[in-house]
Structure 1
Amino acid sequence: MTVPLRLTDRKRESIVLAAIAEFRDSGFEVTSMDRIAARAEVSKRTVYNHFPSKEELFAEILQRLWVNATDQPDASYKPEVGLREQLREMLKAKMKTLSNSNFIDLARVAIGATIHSPDRAQTWVNRLNQREESFTVWVRGAQQDGRLNEVEPGFAAHQIHALLKAFAFWPQVTLNEPLLTAEKQASVVESALDLFLCCYEVRRTSN
């Protein structure tokens, strides 16, 4: 049974949805808290009660899209499961997020906004990077189990995510290319797995 949202939660949700539409339609600089309030049909004071600044509101939207675009798989390292199988599930979830049109639209807005104010990007980047820390922990677990070669875990996490973003994020954000088809997504994931495991997987030799 679904529990109805409280009035304050409904207002917060209306604000977020209105802000997504405003940022996507008008960009970060033009969008104001007044416009968001009007679109959400709440007072500007209500908007500020939920979000102290436009930057904080935008950061929360990006994080929400990142989290909600797909159910996140269990990213804990499993010694009884093949490396490729574990990695595939994590990368498929990442790919699904990168194929979310709202996320791509707002990422484009965010990048445009940082051109005018590079310092502003730090909060957003920190929020998004938190979603990649689970992969860093997974790499560390696989190394401790002797199944991955020595590499700085954060570097490895950034590297494999970059293999996906080269095809499923940057072309869409910067060149407005279409989102990848399901077949292309699968191909990019498998190629990233090939490169990553070829470089870092410990090869067992039989006697």
Structure 2
Amino acid sequence: MKRTEKKRKDIIDAAIEEFRAQGFLGAKTTSIAKRANVSSRTLYNHFESKEALFEAISEIMIERNGRMDPVPYDPDRDFVEQLKDALRQYVAVITEETALGLNRMVMSELIRDLDRSKKFFAETETHAYPITRLISEAMEAGVIRTADAGYATNQLLVLVKGFFFWPEFFLGETPTPASTLDDCVAMFMAHYTPDS
């Protein structure tokens, strides 16, 4: 890693700590620079403002949440099992400790600032969930009925996140039994299984 890249990473790491500790409004660029062990001038050479830092962190969070590669449909495997495997992997990615910390930090600011929230969610709309490919290709293969794959993915992930992400996000634990994932998939399949 080049020296400038390391300084940029140190600044971002320090900003995450500062935003977590002070919130966006209470965070100070001088404190971020001090945490990163750089001068304020160096910080501003990398990021023109506290807002630019927050946007960079938001982008990192989106990228981390999308770290899982798109999942292709395998016609030689049972689709339900493929879907469950993909969902387990997705839950592991979004509930990983660093990902949760970033989500908590970013979400607290999005709740406070509606304009920033709109901008953030417009950005997330440009990123497809990794499970969308699996669902889309299964639709093309006739395994599930044809619909808008992005919409269908959102329906399924709202169920899954409700049981596996939000309890972890708010409570720091997942009291939901692992078998609940089977119920989420069964509900999805009940709606999307093609008519005979």
In 2: Cα distance, 1:74 partner to 1:37 partner: 37
1:190 aligns with 2:179: no
Contact 2:66 2:129 in 1 (8 A): no
Structure 1 residues 59 and 189: alpha-carbon distance in aligned structure 2, compared to 1, 3 A threshold:
farther
- Equivalent in the alignment of 2:9: 13
Contact 1:73 1:90 in 2 (8 A): no
1:84 aligns with 2:80: yes
Q: Which amino acid aligns with 1:149?
A: R
Unpaired runs of 5+ residues, structure 2, are none
1:200 aligns with 2:192: yes
- What's the TM-score, normalizing by structure 1? 0.78
SS in 2 for 1:29: helix
Structure 1 residues 18 and 158: alpha-carbon distance in aligned structure 2, compared to 1, 3 A threshold:
same
In 1: Cα distance, 2:64 partner to 2:111 partner: 27
- What's the TM-score, normalizing by structure 2? 0.82
Match of 2:171 among 152, 161, 177: 177
Contact 2:131 2:153 in 1 (8 A): yes
Unpaired runs of 5+ residues, structure 1, are none
Identity across aligned pairs (percent)? 29
Contact 2:70 2:130 in 1 (8 A): no
1:9-59 CA distances to partner (integer Å, 9 max, x unpaired)? 111111121112111111122113222111101123322333344344334
1:123 aligns with 2:119: yes
Match of 1:94 among 64, 67, 90: 90
Range with bigger deviation, 35-44 or 97-106: 97-106
In 2: Cα distance, 1:187 partner to 1:120 partner: 37
Shift of 1:178: 2.5
SS in 2 for 1:27: helix
In 1: Cα distance, 2:92 partner to 2:177 partner: 8
Structure 1 residues 31 and 195: alpha-carbon distance in aligned structure 2, compared to 1, 3 A threshold:
same
In 2: Cα distance, 1:57 partner to 1:38 partner: 15
Structure 1 residues 47 and 129: alpha-carbon distance in aligned structure 2, compared to 1, 3 A threshold:
farther
Structure 1 residues 74 and 82: alpha-carbon distance in aligned structure 2, compared to 1, 3 A threshold:
farther
Contact 1:71 1:93 in 2 (8 A): no
How big is the alpha-carbon RMSD for the aligned residues of Structure 1 and Structure 2?
A: 2.7
Contact 1:98 1:168 in 2 (8 A): no
1:118-137 CA distances to partner (integer Å, 9 max, x unpaired)? 01013322444455443333
In 1: Cα distance, 2:88 partner to 2:62 partner: 14
